């Protein structure tokens, strides 16, 4: 089920999934604008079967299932993520490595919200997803632009760096949230994998949450959550880093500028 190549990612996401599941309501709130983008795409025309890749706790899968008459399937490599998705239901969920899994049917729309940047071999993964798409079917995913264009992300990494002084700098070509930040590279990968009509458009949205949920968000997701997990006194970590995020707080609301790409492509007829 998990290819040798992606087993480290499976392990990583399985550990991270606990936090995502704990905080899934606030994550859903923060990332809602990108769910809306994918739901809007799904409702543009009738769909029969939709696949959500790296579906995590299943918010987008459920959102599309509710908005369309399509049969919706979420695929994710991490058991902890899928457990949360299955608990909420609303769609079918498969635990598998999307890079290598042989899907037993084809989908006329393949979507992903931030779930396609973690493959060992991205071209092989998109080739595999093309096999799972009907001729003329569509791909639509949302992916982060650079960390510099996403100041909340950069603030988290910078604040957490003091707790991981020996960590190597992130490899821009390795699995990670900004892996598909370069649109030329993304286009090359998709075309090499066999997709056509590749279109890559900037997608800028302001993500929000109530201020009183900010610490829940930070302590369950991303680099601050990791620093807290490894600390003897997690509360101390939060006290030390929380003020770095003050610039995102506007009264009782947190506003996070999200700089992404919306990537679409077609399966050849
Ligand atoms: C940033 S999370 C996004 C989750 C979800 N799409 C959302 O927006 O809430 C990335 C997801 O991709 C999944 N993932 C990573 N590598 C994968 C692979 N090879 N096959 C399937 N899922 C994978 C992770 O387990 C994780 O749930």
pLDDT digits (tens, 9 = 90+) for 73-117: 999 999 999 999 999 999 999 999 999 999 999 999 999 999 999
**Cβ of 10 below 6 Å from ligand 1:** no
**With bands split at pLDDT 50, 70 and 90, how would you rate the model's confidence at 2?**
low
Token pair recorded at residue 132: 């799972």
CA–CA dist 45, 65 (Å, integer): 14
Determine how many CB atoms are found less than 10 A away from the CB of residue 74: 31
7 has a pLDDT exceeding 60: yes
Q: Is the dihedral of CA 101, 104, 110, 115 positive or negative?
A: negative
In degrees and rounded to multiples of 5, residue 57 shows phi and psi of -85, 5
**Cβ of 59 below 6 Å from ligand 1:** yes
CA 126 to ligand 1 centroid distance, Å: 14
204 has a pLDDT exceeding 90: yes
**Cβ of 58 below 6 Å from ligand 1:** no
Whether the CB-CB separation of 194 and 268 falls below 8 Å is answered with yes
**Cβ of 245 below 6 Å from ligand 1:** no
Report pLDDT digits (tens) over 8-58: 889 989 889 899 999 999 999 999 999 999 999 999 999 999 999 999 999
Go through the domains of the chain in sequence order and give each one's CATH number.
Answer: 4-266 (3.40.50.150)
CA–CA dist 137, 127 (Å, integer): 14
- Smallest CA separation from ligand 1 atom 27, residue: 56
Q: What is the mean pLDDT of residues 123-129?
A: 98
% of the chain exceeding 90 in pLDDT: 86
% of the chain exceeding 70 in pLDDT: 99
- What is the reported pTM? 0.96
**With bands split at pLDDT 50, 70 and 90, how would you rate the model's confidence at 6?**
confident
């Amino acid at each position: 089920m998990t290819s040798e190549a992606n087993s480290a990612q499976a392990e990583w996401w399985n550990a991270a999934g606990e936090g995502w599941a704990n905080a899934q309501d606030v994550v859903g709130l923060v990332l809602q604008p990108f769910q809306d983008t994918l739901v809007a795409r799904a409702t543009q025309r009738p769909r029969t079967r939709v696949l959500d890749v790296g579906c995590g706790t299943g918010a987008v899968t459920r959102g599309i299932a509710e908005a369309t008459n399509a049969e919706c399937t979420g695929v994710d490599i991490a058991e902890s993520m899928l457990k949360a998705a299955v608990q909420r239901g609303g769609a079918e969920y498969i635990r598998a490595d999307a890079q290598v899994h042989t899907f037993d049917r084809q989908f006329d729309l393949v979507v992903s919200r931030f779930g396609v940047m973690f493959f060992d071999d991205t071209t092989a993964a998109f080739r595999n997803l093309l096999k799972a798409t009907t001729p003329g079917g569509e791909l639509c995913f949302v992916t982060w632009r650079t960390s510099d264009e996403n100041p909340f992300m950069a603030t988290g990494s910078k604040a957490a760096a003091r707790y991981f002084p020996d960590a190597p700098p992130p490899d821009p070509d390795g699995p990670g949230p900004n892996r598909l930040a370069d649109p030329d590279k993304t286009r090359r990968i998709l075309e090499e994998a066999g997709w056509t009509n590749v279109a890559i458009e900037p997608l800028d949205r302001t993500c929000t949450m109530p201020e009183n949920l900010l610490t829940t968000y930070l302590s369950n997701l991303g680099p601050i959550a990791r620093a807290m997990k490894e600390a003897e006194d997690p509360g101390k970590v939060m006290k030390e880093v929380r003020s770095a995020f003050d610039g995102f707080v506007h009264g009782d609301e947190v506003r996070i500028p999200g700089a992404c790409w919306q990537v679409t492509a077609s399966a050849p007829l």
